[in-house]
Amino acid sequence: DWTMAEFRAAKIAEIRAQVGQGRVICGLSGGVDSAVAAVLIHEAIGAQLTCVFVDHGLMRTAEAEQVVTLFRNHYNIPLVHVDAEETFLTGLAGVTDPEAKRKFIGGAFIDIFEAEAKKVGGADFLAQGTLYPDVIESVSFTGGPSVTIKSHHNVGGLPARMNMQLVEPLRELFKDEVRILGRELGLTEAFVGRHPFPGPGLAIRIPGEVTKERCDILRKADAIYLEEIRAAGLYDTIWQAFAVLLPVRSVGVMGDGRTYDNVLALRAVTSTDGMTAEAFQFPGDFLPRVATRIVNEVKGINRVTYDYTSKPPGTIEWE
Ligand code: XMP
Protein backbone atom coordinates (compact mmCIF):
# COMPACT_ATOMS: atom_id res chain seq x y z
CA ASP A 1 0.00 0.00 0.00
CA TRP A 2 1.79 3.12 -1.21
CA THR A 3 0.05 5.56 1.14
CA MET A 4 1.15 3.51 4.14
CA ALA A 5 4.67 3.36 2.69
CA GLU A 6 4.62 7.16 2.55
CA PHE A 7 3.25 7.41 6.05
CA ARG A 8 6.02 5.12 7.24
CA ALA A 9 8.75 7.21 5.59
CA ALA A 10 7.26 10.48 6.87
CA LYS A 11 6.97 9.16 10.42
CA ILE A 12 10.53 7.86 10.41
CA ALA A 13 11.77 11.33 9.43
CA GLU A 14 9.56 12.89 12.09
CA ILE A 15 10.78 10.54 14.82
CA ARG A 16 14.42 11.26 13.90
CA ALA A 17 13.75 15.00 14.00
CA GLN A 18 12.00 14.80 17.37
CA VAL A 19 14.47 12.49 19.06
CA GLY A 20 17.80 13.65 17.64
CA GLN A 21 20.55 11.86 19.53
CA GLY A 22 18.26 11.20 22.54
CA ARG A 23 17.35 7.87 24.05
CA VAL A 24 13.84 6.43 23.88
CA ILE A 25 12.11 3.94 26.15
CA CYS A 26 9.16 2.14 24.54
CA GLY A 27 6.64 0.31 26.68
CA LEU A 28 5.37 -2.88 25.05
CA SER A 29 2.00 -4.17 26.17
CA GLY A 30 1.79 -7.30 24.07
CA GLY A 31 -0.73 -5.64 21.79
CA VAL A 32 -0.48 -4.66 18.14
CA ASP A 33 -0.22 -0.91 18.72
CA SER A 34 2.84 -0.83 20.92
CA ALA A 35 4.52 -3.51 18.78
CA VAL A 36 4.00 -1.50 15.60
CA ALA A 37 5.20 1.68 17.33
CA ALA A 38 8.32 -0.15 18.56
CA VAL A 39 9.21 -1.61 15.17
CA LEU A 40 8.69 1.77 13.47
CA ILE A 41 10.80 3.63 16.03
CA HIS A 42 13.47 0.95 15.87
CA GLU A 43 13.63 1.47 12.13
CA ALA A 44 14.04 5.22 12.72
CA ILE A 45 16.63 5.28 15.50
CA GLY A 46 17.92 1.71 15.99
CA ALA A 47 19.99 1.27 19.13
CA GLN A 48 18.79 4.55 20.68
CA LEU A 49 15.60 2.61 21.49
CA THR A 50 15.12 0.36 24.52
CA CYS A 51 11.90 -1.67 24.62
CA VAL A 52 10.49 -2.52 28.02
CA PHE A 53 7.88 -5.18 28.57
CA VAL A 54 6.32 -4.84 32.00
CA ASP A 55 4.68 -8.06 33.12
CA HIS A 56 2.20 -6.76 35.65
CA GLY A 57 0.80 -10.20 36.41
CA LEU A 58 -2.44 -9.10 34.75
CA MET A 59 -1.68 -10.81 31.43
CA ARG A 60 -3.56 -13.73 29.96
CA THR A 61 -2.21 -17.29 29.89
CA ALA A 62 1.18 -17.54 28.11
CA GLU A 63 0.97 -13.94 26.88
CA ALA A 64 4.16 -12.70 28.50
CA GLU A 65 6.27 -15.51 27.00
CA GLN A 66 4.75 -14.92 23.57
CA VAL A 67 5.69 -11.24 23.56
CA VAL A 68 9.21 -11.77 24.81
CA THR A 69 9.84 -14.55 22.29
CA LEU A 70 8.41 -12.52 19.44
CA PHE A 71 10.60 -9.50 20.08
CA ARG A 72 13.84 -11.17 21.05
CA ASN A 73 13.87 -14.02 18.58
CA HIS A 74 11.81 -12.88 15.66
CA TYR A 75 12.54 -9.17 15.38
CA ASN A 76 15.86 -9.17 17.15
CA ILE A 77 14.95 -5.96 18.96
CA PRO A 78 16.49 -5.84 22.45
CA LEU A 79 13.86 -6.12 25.13
CA VAL A 80 13.95 -5.64 28.87
CA HIS A 81 11.48 -7.97 30.60
CA VAL A 82 10.38 -6.62 33.98
CA ASP A 83 8.54 -9.02 36.26
CA ALA A 84 6.44 -6.69 38.39
CA GLU A 85 3.52 -8.89 39.41
CA GLU A 86 4.08 -8.32 43.09
CA THR A 87 4.28 -4.53 42.78
CA PHE A 88 1.02 -4.40 40.85
CA LEU A 89 -0.97 -6.89 42.93
CA THR A 90 0.17 -5.28 46.17
CA GLY A 91 -0.74 -1.83 44.90
CA LEU A 92 -4.13 -3.00 43.67
CA ALA A 93 -5.07 -4.63 46.98
CA GLY A 94 -8.29 -3.07 48.22
CA VAL A 95 -8.76 -0.95 45.06
CA THR A 96 -12.20 -1.43 43.49
CA ASP A 97 -12.93 1.78 41.58
CA PRO A 98 -12.16 1.36 37.83
CA GLU A 99 -10.48 4.74 37.44
CA ALA A 100 -8.51 4.25 40.65
CA LYS A 101 -7.22 0.96 39.19
CA ARG A 102 -6.14 2.76 36.00
CA LYS A 103 -4.56 5.57 37.96
CA PHE A 104 -2.48 3.22 40.08
CA ILE A 105 -1.48 1.06 37.10
CA GLY A 106 -0.51 4.08 34.95
CA GLY A 107 1.61 5.46 37.77
CA ALA A 108 3.31 2.12 38.44
CA PHE A 109 4.16 1.80 34.73
CA ILE A 110 5.77 5.23 34.73
CA ASP A 111 7.83 4.40 37.84
CA ILE A 112 9.15 1.30 36.08
CA PHE A 113 9.87 3.14 32.81
CA GLU A 114 11.74 5.83 34.73
CA ALA A 115 13.77 3.21 36.59
CA GLU A 116 14.63 1.52 33.29
CA ALA A 117 15.47 4.89 31.74
CA LYS A 118 18.03 5.46 34.51
CA LYS A 119 19.61 2.07 33.82
CA VAL A 120 20.34 3.03 30.20
CA GLY A 121 21.94 6.26 31.36
CA GLY A 122 18.76 8.35 31.22
CA ALA A 123 16.13 8.51 28.50
CA ASP A 124 14.56 11.71 27.29
CA PHE A 125 11.58 10.14 25.56
CA LEU A 126 8.84 7.62 26.30
CA ALA A 127 7.23 6.01 23.24
CA GLN A 128 3.71 4.63 23.25
CA GLY A 129 1.33 3.08 20.73
CA THR A 130 -1.46 5.58 21.38
CA LEU A 131 -4.12 5.59 18.63
CA TYR A 132 -6.59 8.25 17.60
CA PRO A 133 -9.60 6.64 19.36
CA ASP A 134 -7.57 6.44 22.61
CA VAL A 135 -7.00 10.17 22.39
CA ILE A 136 -10.65 10.97 21.70
CA GLU A 137 -12.14 8.69 24.33
CA SER A 138 -9.72 9.67 27.06
CA VAL A 139 -10.06 13.39 26.53
CA SER A 140 -13.74 13.96 25.95
CA PHE A 141 -16.78 12.51 24.31
CA THR A 142 -17.33 14.10 20.91
CA GLY A 143 -20.22 16.48 20.64
CA GLY A 144 -21.15 16.49 24.28
CA PRO A 145 -19.73 18.10 27.36
CA SER A 146 -16.14 17.20 28.21
CA VAL A 147 -16.53 13.95 30.12
CA THR A 148 -13.79 11.35 30.50
CA ILE A 149 -15.25 7.94 29.80
CA LYS A 150 -12.12 5.98 30.64
CA SER A 151 -8.65 7.36 31.12
CA HIS A 152 -6.64 4.92 29.01
CA HIS A 153 -3.46 4.93 30.99
CA ASN A 154 -1.38 5.55 27.91
CA VAL A 155 -3.14 8.87 27.41
CA GLY A 156 -4.78 10.44 30.40
CA GLY A 157 -3.11 8.63 33.25
CA LEU A 158 0.44 9.91 32.86
CA PRO A 159 1.51 11.69 35.99
CA ALA A 160 2.52 15.33 35.57
CA ARG A 161 5.79 14.57 37.36
CA MET A 162 6.95 12.42 34.44
CA ASN A 163 10.02 14.04 32.98
CA MET A 164 10.18 12.22 29.65
CA GLN A 165 8.65 13.64 26.50
CA LEU A 166 6.15 11.45 24.64
CA VAL A 167 6.79 9.92 21.22
CA GLU A 168 3.47 8.73 19.79
CA PRO A 169 3.84 8.02 16.07
CA LEU A 170 0.42 6.33 15.72
CA ARG A 171 -1.64 9.13 17.21
CA GLU A 172 -3.48 9.87 13.97
CA LEU A 173 -4.27 6.26 13.11
CA PHE A 174 -7.23 3.95 13.60
CA LYS A 175 -6.76 0.28 14.39
CA ASP A 176 -7.28 -0.96 10.84
CA GLU A 177 -4.60 1.48 9.65
CA VAL A 178 -2.18 0.32 12.34
CA ARG A 179 -2.67 -3.23 11.11
CA ILE A 180 -1.88 -2.14 7.53
CA LEU A 181 1.23 -0.34 8.79
CA GLY A 182 2.20 -3.44 10.80
CA ARG A 183 2.05 -5.56 7.65
CA GLU A 184 4.02 -2.90 5.80
CA LEU A 185 6.70 -3.23 8.52
CA GLY A 186 6.76 -7.01 8.14
CA LEU A 187 4.98 -8.05 11.33
CA THR A 188 3.54 -11.56 11.08
CA GLU A 189 -0.15 -11.98 10.35
CA ALA A 190 -0.67 -13.84 13.63
CA PHE A 191 0.56 -10.79 15.48
CA VAL A 192 -1.08 -8.11 13.35
CA GLY A 193 -4.45 -9.88 13.65
CA ARG A 194 -4.43 -10.12 17.45
CA HIS A 195 -7.43 -8.80 19.31
CA PRO A 196 -6.81 -5.58 21.25
CA PHE A 197 -5.86 -6.05 24.90
CA PRO A 198 -6.10 -3.15 27.36
CA GLY A 199 -2.98 -1.84 29.09
CA PRO A 200 -4.44 -2.43 32.58
CA GLY A 201 -5.03 -6.04 31.52
CA LEU A 202 -7.15 -8.35 33.62
CA ALA A 203 -7.46 -5.71 36.37
CA ILE A 204 -10.36 -4.13 34.48
CA ARG A 205 -11.93 -7.54 33.76
CA ILE A 206 -12.26 -8.32 37.47
CA PRO A 207 -14.82 -5.85 38.80
CA GLY A 208 -14.16 -5.36 42.50
CA GLU A 209 -10.88 -6.28 44.12
CA VAL A 210 -8.15 -7.84 41.99
CA THR A 211 -6.32 -10.75 43.62
CA LYS A 212 -3.90 -13.33 42.26
CA GLU A 213 -6.48 -16.05 42.90
CA ARG A 214 -9.12 -14.20 40.87
CA CYS A 215 -6.63 -13.52 38.07
CA ASP A 216 -5.84 -17.25 37.93
CA ILE A 217 -9.52 -18.23 37.75
CA LEU A 218 -10.13 -15.68 35.00
CA ARG A 219 -7.05 -16.77 33.03
CA LYS A 220 -8.28 -20.38 32.92
CA ALA A 221 -11.78 -19.45 31.81
CA ASP A 222 -10.55 -16.91 29.25
CA ALA A 223 -8.14 -19.46 27.74
CA ILE A 224 -10.95 -21.99 27.22
CA TYR A 225 -13.19 -19.36 25.62
CA LEU A 226 -10.47 -18.18 23.22
CA GLU A 227 -9.43 -21.75 22.42
CA GLU A 228 -13.03 -22.55 21.38
CA ILE A 229 -13.27 -19.33 19.35
CA ARG A 230 -10.12 -20.23 17.43
CA ALA A 231 -11.26 -23.86 16.97
CA ALA A 232 -14.55 -22.62 15.52
CA GLY A 233 -12.65 -20.39 13.07
CA LEU A 234 -14.27 -17.25 14.47
CA TYR A 235 -11.25 -15.38 15.86
CA ASP A 236 -10.72 -13.12 12.84
CA THR A 237 -14.37 -12.10 12.49
CA ILE A 238 -14.47 -10.86 16.09
CA TRP A 239 -12.95 -7.51 17.11
CA GLN A 240 -12.36 -8.59 20.69
CA ALA A 241 -13.47 -11.50 22.88
CA PHE A 242 -12.79 -12.03 26.56
CA ALA A 243 -14.21 -13.20 29.86
CA VAL A 244 -15.07 -11.04 32.88
CA LEU A 245 -15.04 -12.47 36.40
CA LEU A 246 -17.99 -10.95 38.22
CA PRO A 247 -18.00 -10.06 41.92
CA VAL A 248 -21.15 -12.14 42.35
CA ARG A 249 -21.61 -15.68 43.61
CA SER A 250 -24.44 -17.96 42.63
CA VAL A 251 -25.83 -21.24 43.88
CA GLY A 252 -25.38 -24.31 41.74
CA VAL A 253 -25.45 -28.09 41.93
CA MET A 254 -22.54 -30.38 41.08
CA GLY A 255 -23.01 -34.14 41.52
CA ASP A 256 -25.16 -34.28 44.65
CA GLY A 257 -23.57 -31.26 46.22
CA ARG A 258 -24.47 -27.60 46.44
CA THR A 259 -21.98 -25.10 45.05
CA TYR A 260 -21.73 -21.40 45.80
CA ASP A 261 -19.24 -19.94 43.35
CA ASN A 262 -18.31 -17.10 41.01
CA VAL A 263 -20.27 -15.99 37.96
CA LEU A 264 -18.42 -15.36 34.70
CA ALA A 265 -19.57 -13.13 31.84
CA LEU A 266 -18.43 -13.75 28.27
CA ARG A 267 -18.08 -10.81 25.88
CA ALA A 268 -17.43 -10.77 22.13
CA VAL A 269 -17.97 -7.78 19.89
CA THR A 270 -17.62 -6.71 16.28
CA SER A 271 -16.34 -3.22 15.59
CA THR A 272 -14.21 -1.27 13.13
CA ASP A 273 -12.49 1.17 15.47
CA GLY A 274 -13.54 0.24 19.00
CA MET A 275 -15.60 3.41 19.32
CA THR A 276 -18.88 1.66 18.62
CA ALA A 277 -19.48 -2.07 18.86
CA GLU A 278 -22.12 -4.77 18.50
CA ALA A 279 -22.37 -8.01 20.44
CA PHE A 280 -21.19 -10.91 18.29
CA GLN A 281 -23.88 -13.49 17.47
CA PHE A 282 -22.36 -16.94 17.96
CA PRO A 283 -23.77 -19.97 16.14
CA GLY A 284 -26.39 -21.78 18.26
CA ASP A 285 -24.39 -24.50 19.97
CA PHE A 286 -21.24 -22.48 20.62
CA LEU A 287 -22.03 -20.68 23.89
CA PRO A 288 -23.66 -23.65 25.65
CA ARG A 289 -20.55 -25.72 24.82
CA VAL A 290 -18.20 -23.08 26.19
CA ALA A 291 -20.34 -22.58 29.33
CA THR A 292 -20.31 -26.34 30.03
CA ARG A 293 -16.56 -26.59 29.54
CA ILE A 294 -15.82 -23.62 31.79
CA VAL A 295 -18.06 -24.78 34.65
CA ASN A 296 -16.63 -28.31 34.42
CA GLU A 297 -12.99 -27.33 34.04
CA VAL A 298 -12.54 -24.16 36.06
CA LYS A 299 -12.74 -24.53 39.81
CA GLY A 300 -14.43 -21.48 41.30
CA ILE A 301 -16.94 -20.79 38.49
CA ASN A 302 -20.41 -22.33 38.52
CA ARG A 303 -22.35 -20.06 36.17
CA VAL A 304 -21.64 -18.42 32.80
CA THR A 305 -23.57 -15.58 31.15
CA TYR A 306 -23.24 -13.78 27.80
CA ASP A 307 -23.21 -9.99 27.46
CA TYR A 308 -25.42 -8.74 24.59
CA THR A 309 -24.91 -5.01 25.19
CA SER A 310 -23.85 -2.74 22.29
CA LYS A 311 -21.52 0.23 22.60
CA PRO A 312 -23.05 2.70 23.17
CA PRO A 313 -24.73 2.54 25.63
CA GLY A 314 -22.34 -0.07 27.06
CA THR A 315 -18.58 0.01 26.61
CA ILE A 316 -16.52 -2.92 25.37
CA GLU A 317 -14.78 -3.57 28.69
CA TRP A 318 -16.89 -3.71 31.86
CA GLU A 319 -14.73 -1.14 33.64
P1 XMP B 1 -14.11 0.56 25.90
O2 XMP B 1 -14.25 -0.37 27.06
O3 XMP B 1 -13.76 1.97 26.31
O4 XMP B 1 -12.88 0.04 25.09
O5 XMP B 1 -15.29 0.52 24.97
C6 XMP B 1 -12.48 0.47 23.80
C7 XMP B 1 -11.16 -0.21 23.49
O8 XMP B 1 -10.15 0.29 24.36
C9 XMP B 1 -9.61 -0.75 25.18
N10 XMP B 1 -9.40 -0.18 26.52
C11 XMP B 1 -8.20 0.20 26.99
N12 XMP B 1 -6.97 0.14 26.43
N13 XMP B 1 -6.07 1.13 28.40
C14 XMP B 1 -5.90 0.60 27.16
O15 XMP B 1 -4.77 0.53 26.69
C16 XMP B 1 -7.27 1.21 29.03
O17 XMP B 1 -7.37 1.69 30.15
C18 XMP B 1 -8.40 0.73 28.27
N19 XMP B 1 -9.72 0.67 28.54
C20 XMP B 1 -10.33 0.11 27.45
C21 XMP B 1 -10.63 -1.87 25.14
O22 XMP B 1 -10.04 -3.14 25.38
C23 XMP B 1 -11.20 -1.73 23.75
O24 XMP B 1 -10.36 -2.34 22.79
Domain harbouring 233, CATH code: 3.30.300.10
DSSP 70: I
Top mutation candidate among 152, 178, 194, 271 for ligand 1, by most atoms within 8 Å of CB: 152
Same domain flag for 157 and 284? no
31 annotated among ligand-binding-site residues: yes
Per-residue pLDDT tens over the stretch 262-278: 999 999 999 999 999 99
- How much is the pTM? 0.92
Determine which residue's CA is closest to atom 6 belonging to ligand 1: 274
Q: According to DSSP H, which parts of 200-311 are helical?
A: 212-231, 286-297
Same domain flag for 182 and 136? yes
**Distance in Å, CA 143 to ligand 1 centroid:** 20
- The total of structural domains in the chain comes to 2
Contact residues for 162 (Cβ-Cβ < 8 A; gap 6+): 110, 114, 126
The residue out of 165, 192, 219 marking a domain boundary is 192
Range of the domain at 104: 2-192
Same domain flag for 179 and 216? no
pLDDT at 97: 98
Residues with CB under 6 A from ligand 1: 102, 137, 150, 152-154, 196, 198-200, 240, 274, 311, 315-317
Same domain flag for 187 and 235? no
Q: With a cut of 50, which residues of the chain have pLDDT below it?
A: 140-145, 156
CA pair distance 190, 256, nearest whole angstrom: 45
Contact residues for 174 (Cβ-Cβ < 8 A; gap 6+): 131, 132, 133, 272, 273
CATH classification at residue 154: 3.40.50.620
pLDDT at 253: 96
pLDDT at 224: 98
Same domain flag for 17 and 60? yes
